[in-house]
Amino acid sequence: MPSTQIPPIAGSAIDPTSLRPPIDDAEIERVAPATLRARLEELKNGGYAMLLDLGAVDYLQRRPRFDLVYHLLKLQPKKATVAEVGSPARLRVLCGVDESEFVPSVMDLWKSADWAEREIFDLFGIVFKGHADLRRIQMPHDWEGHPLRKDYPMRGPARERSPRPSFANKSNVVAGTPPTGRTFEALQEEVKRARES
């Protein structure tokens, strides 16, 4: 098994999300990073009171490289019975982002975006502009690299193995070096720049 696992892309389908008509009950919308913030604000004022989830996907060979995936839910922020809630509208907002781009934070619109954005920063290395407290959340604070990127080795960075030569020699698993070796300091610099710009 190679240390860096990049699953092959089926045919020319670099972005599988564009290939197929939607199969779940969410509406889908694609927004550019420049208009993302304004659009989300508009949606929030239009009744999407809940930011259900915020995730990211790395399409390594595509430009822009990453997709941010916002899932919004249209719920009224007041007491409601089952009949009143009904089947609230779900909306998926996709936003393509490149590696060097800053994305506006939506932490002031939905407080729950705080940890979600920190997690994406941590695991994908996407920097959110305007986030008050952008630091790693799942990985240790001085970790190098962003594990959920597709070019990050599946078994993590190479490190010294435990002194069990019989196992070490037979192991066919080769741990590699993360290619995006941004150091702790470099990452801090980038966050600082995003805050100042």
Interface positions, 35-64, toward another protein (CB under 8 A): 49-53, 55-58
Interface positions, 69-98, toward another protein (CB under 8 A): 69, 71, 75, 77-82, 84-88, 90, 92
Q: How far apart are CA 42 and CA 62, in angstroms?
A: 29
3-class state of residue 164 by DSSP = coil
Residues 96, 37 contacting (CB under 8 angstroms): no
Q: Indicate whether 19 belongs to the interface with another protein (CB under 8 A).
A: yes
Interface positions, 155-194, toward another protein (CB under 8 A): none
* Residues that contact another protein, how many (by CB under 8 A): 55
Q: How far apart are CA 40 and CA 36, in angstroms?
A: 6
Closest CA to 105 of 40, 165, 50: 40
* First-to-last C-alpha distance (Å) of the chain: 43
Q: How far is the CB of 115 from another protein (least distance, A)?
A: 5
Q: How far apart are CA 5 and CA 141, in angstroms?
A: 25
Q: How far apart are CA 67 and CA 69, in angstroms?
A: 6
Residue whose CB is less far from another protein, 13 or 174:
13
Q: How far is the CB of 164 from another protein (least distance, A)?
A: 22
Identify residue 80 by its one-letter amino acid code: A
Interface positions, 124-153, toward another protein (CB under 8 A): 136-140, 147-148, 152
Q: Which residues bind another protein (CB under 8 A)?
A: 1, 5, 7-11, 13, 16-17, 19-20, 23-26, 49-53, 55-58, 69, 71, 75, 77-82, 84-88, 90, 92, 110-112, 114-115, 136-140, 147-148, 152, 154
